[in-house]
């Protein structure tokens, strides 16, 4: 017997991927509902991108104040109240979360509060405060996100063992912190806690920190962190953690060498696993790939009317990737011509001090792909604006295809580079060659001039180095 659909489209999960998908769906004329069991805005707004950036802004200020005397400004940093920093971070998160609620309402989307599970294709059961209810919809989009993994040896109940959430809401400054995993999240927390006065050790299993970045960027970052007093152990594996009354001890192993690192807190940031528990994916036979939902280029899974986008659908685990996947998925099923998200270049940024921003191929990846390429570099030591503002530590590196002039990759480290990488993103997305890029006039003096010079350098014609 046919039954009436409750909605044309339902989204499970109100993170950046899910809420953007719901808005696009409603814009296109579909009757849409968004199911969320916790806060609108997901990890990104509430427990990820935004609150960490709020904390890192505080750290930036701390550092500016500490270095002000270099410029003849006589200020003393009397004290740091972490609780107030956390207050700023939480306020920002809740303000944005209510902003999402407003957007959802403005777009005529129903929010259903509760935990969703798929009952059968096109039927979802939501358990909320008021009980359980089935909803029917020909299209169901799973956008349930991912969770930072814990390590089996670490007891999450121990007050010394921090999750990312704990690290975002500390009540006091930990005297010493060990961060396991030197990816974006690990490095950002390391950077924050070092700036507010903790002694920080980074432990990374790969042979360099930020292992997915270009090796030159990793090396520059490691040097910068070291100069700030952060200890980086690479090719080093976490063995065990022993809780103690005064301190805990993290045991690590590098080759045959085992060593102990005493600390007040240990934070794990070694990767994420998909939030698929209890969703009922098994009984529907949804295909997974290492725990993440497998989809085609437009987010469709192997099950009729079921789609997956964002963190739950695999790497890269970035909010802007989630948003694009969400929009593409909706546009495709609604009949709008949309370039698959997978074919769009996704920049990645790390908001530590210094910042890292990158897009496209790293140098080793370009080599592996058999490309004929040149590398251009420009050091911020030769950039007037960077020096004038005391941010001369950094560089820009570009990988240029010799055959077509295509910019294959761009890698930046330095102050504020997260705000600049979109210049390369636009050029690469529009398939500009180095020629068109060189013809773009960059304003002087700006740090972005280094982006221009790096492209010139790939041809050996940089003007300022």
Partner 1 sequence: MATLSAVVMPKWGMEMTEGELAEWHVAVGDQLAANADVVDVETAKIVNTVTASAAGTVVRLCASVGDVVPVGGLLAVVADGAADEAEIDAFVGGLGGSGAAPAPEEAPANAAPAPATASDTTTAPAPAAAPAPTTSKLSEGPDDSDVPASPVARRIAAKSGINLHNVTASGRHGRVSLDDLRQAAAGANLDLQLPAAREFDGHSADDSEVNATPVARRLAAKLGVNLNDCRNTGRHGRVSKADVEAAAAKRGTAAPAAAPASAPATTPSSRVDDVSQQTLAGARKTIARVVAKAKQEVPHFRVNIDVNVDEAMALRRMLNARRSDVKVSLNDILIRACASALENHPRLNARFDGETLEQHSQAHIASAVAAENGVLMPVLRDAGSLGLAATSTAMRDLATRAKTGRLAMDEMDGATFSISNLGMFGIDSFDAIINQPAVAILAVGAAEQRPIVRDGELTSGLIMKLSLSSDHRVVDGADAAQFLAELKALLETPAMMLG
Site residues for partner 1 per CB under 8 A? 1-4, 8, 28-31, 120-122, 138-139, 284-286, 302-305, 333-337, 343, 403-406, 430-433, 435-436
CB of 394 to partner 1, least distance (A): 28
How many residues touch ligand FAD under the rule CB under 6 A: the total is 34
Which of 131/335 has CB closer to ligand FAD?
131
Q: What does 336 bind: partner 1, ligand FAD, none (CB cut-off 5 to 8 Å by kind)?
A: partner 1
Number of other residues whose CB lies within 10 A of the CB of residue 68? 15
Instruction: Find which of ligand FAD, partner 1, none residue 174 binds, CB within 5 to 8 Å per kind.
Output: none
Cβ closest to ligand FAD, residue 22 vs residue 458: 22
Alpha-carbon distance of 116 to 134, in angstroms, equals: 9
| 86 belongs to the binding site for ligand FAD (CB under 6 A) | no
Q: 249: which 2 tokens?
A: 């001890």
For residues 45 and 97, is the Cβ–Cβ distance under 8 A? yes
Q: Are 16 and 145 in contact (CB under 8 A)?
A: no
Residue 322 site contact among partner 1, ligand FAD, none (CB < 5 to 8 Å, cut-off depends on kind): ligand FAD
At its nearest, how many Å lie between partner 1 and the CB of residue 286?
8
Nearer to partner 1, 260 or 402 (CB): 402
Kindly write out the interface string for residues 342-381 of this chain, putting x where it contacts ligand FAD by CB under 6 A and - elsewhere: ----------------------------------------
The residue whose Cβ lies closest to ligand FAD is 145
11 binds, among ligand FAD, partner 1, none (CB under 5 to 8 A by kind): none
Cβ proximity to partner 1, 22 vs 349, nearer residue: 22
Which of 125, 254 has the CB closer to ligand FAD?
A: 125
* Joined tokens for residue 374: 């040149």
- Closest approach, Cβ 372 to ligand FAD, in A, equals 32
Let me know: does 167 contact 267? Beta carbons within 8 Å.
yes
Q: Which stretch binds ligand FAD (CB under 6 A): 137-145, 193-201, 225-233, 247-255?
A: 137-145
Distance of CA 237 to the CA centre of its chain: 23
Interface with ligand FAD (CB under 6 A), residue from 5, 27, 94, 115 = 115
12 binds ligand FAD (CB under 6 A): yes
Quick check: 52 binds ligand FAD (CB under 6 A)? yes
CB 118 within 8 A of CB 306: yes
Using rule CB under 6 A, residue 44 touches ligand FAD: yes
**Minimum CB distance to partner 1, residue 217 (Å):** 24
Give the C-alpha separation, 210 to 179, whole Å: 13
Interface with ligand FAD, residue 268, by CB under 6 A: no
- Which is catalytic among the residues 139, 324, 411, 444? 444
Annotation says 88 is catalytic:
no
State how far the Cα of 199 lies from the Cα of 362, in Å rounded to an integer.
32
Residues of the shown chain interacting with ligand FAD in the complex, contacts defined by CB under 6 A: 12-18, 35-38, 42-44, 48-49, 52, 115-116, 143-145, 148, 164, 185, 275, 279, 310-311, 317-320, 322
Q: What amino acid positions are annotated as catalytic residues?
A: 444
């Amino acid at each position: 017997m046919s039954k009436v659909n409750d909605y044309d489209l339902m989204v499970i999960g109100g993170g950046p991927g899910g809420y953007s998908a719901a808005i696009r769906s409603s814009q296109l004329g579909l009757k849409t509902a968004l199911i969320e069991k916790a806060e609108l805005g997901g990890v990104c707004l509430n427990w990820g991108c935004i609150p960490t950036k709020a904390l890192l802004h505080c750290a930036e200020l701390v550092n500016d104040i500490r270095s002000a005397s270099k410029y003849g400004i006589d200020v003393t940093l009397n004290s740091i109240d972490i609780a107030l920093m956390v207050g700023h971070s939480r306020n920002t998160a809740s303000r944005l979360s209510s902003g999402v609620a407003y957007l959802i309402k403005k777009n005529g989307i129903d929010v259903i509060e509760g935990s969703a599970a798929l009952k059968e294709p096109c039927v979802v059961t939501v358990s909320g405060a008021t009980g359980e209810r089935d909803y029917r919809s020909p299209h169901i989009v799973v956008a349930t996100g991912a969770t930072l993994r814990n390590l089996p040896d670490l007891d999450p109940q121990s007050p010394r063992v921090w999750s990312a959430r704990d690290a975002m809401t500390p009540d006091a400054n930990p005297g010493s912190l060990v961060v396991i995993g030197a990816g974006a999240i690990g490095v950002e927390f390391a950077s924050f806690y070092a700036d507010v006065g903790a002694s920080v050790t980074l432990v990374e299993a790969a042979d360099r920190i930020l292992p997915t970045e270009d090796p030159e960027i990793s090396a520059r970052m490691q040097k910068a962190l070291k100069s700030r007093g952060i200890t980086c152990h690479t090719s080093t594996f976490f063995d065990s953690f022993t809780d103690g009354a005064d301190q805990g001890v993290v045991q690590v192993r590098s080759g045959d060498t085992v060593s102990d690192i005493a600390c007040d807190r240990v934070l794990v940031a070694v990767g994420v696993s998909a939030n698929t528990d209890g969703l009922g994916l098994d009984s529907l036979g949804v295909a997974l790939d290492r725990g993440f939902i497998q989809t085609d280029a437009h987010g469709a899974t192997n099950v009729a009317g079921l789609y997956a986008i964002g963190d739950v659908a695999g790497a890269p685990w970035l909010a802007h990737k989630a948003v694009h996947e969400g929009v593409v998925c909706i546009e495709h099923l609604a009949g709008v011509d949309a370039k698959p998200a997978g074919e769009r270049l996704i920049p990645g940024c790390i908001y530590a001090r210094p910042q890292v921003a990158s897009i496209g191929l790293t140098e080793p990846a370009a080599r592996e792909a058999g490309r004929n390429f040149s590398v251009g570099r420009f050091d911020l030591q030769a950039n007037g604006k960077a020096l004038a503002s005391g941010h001369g530590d950094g560089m820009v590196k570009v990988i240029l295809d010799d055959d077509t002039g295509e910019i294959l990759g761009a890698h930046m480290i330095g102050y504020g580079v997260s705000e600049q990488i979109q210049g390369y993103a636009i050029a690469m997305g529009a398939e500009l060659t180095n020629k068109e890029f060189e013809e773009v006039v960059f304003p002087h003096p700006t740090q972005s001039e280094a982006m221009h010079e790096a492209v010139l350098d790939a041809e050996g014609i940089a003007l300022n180095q």
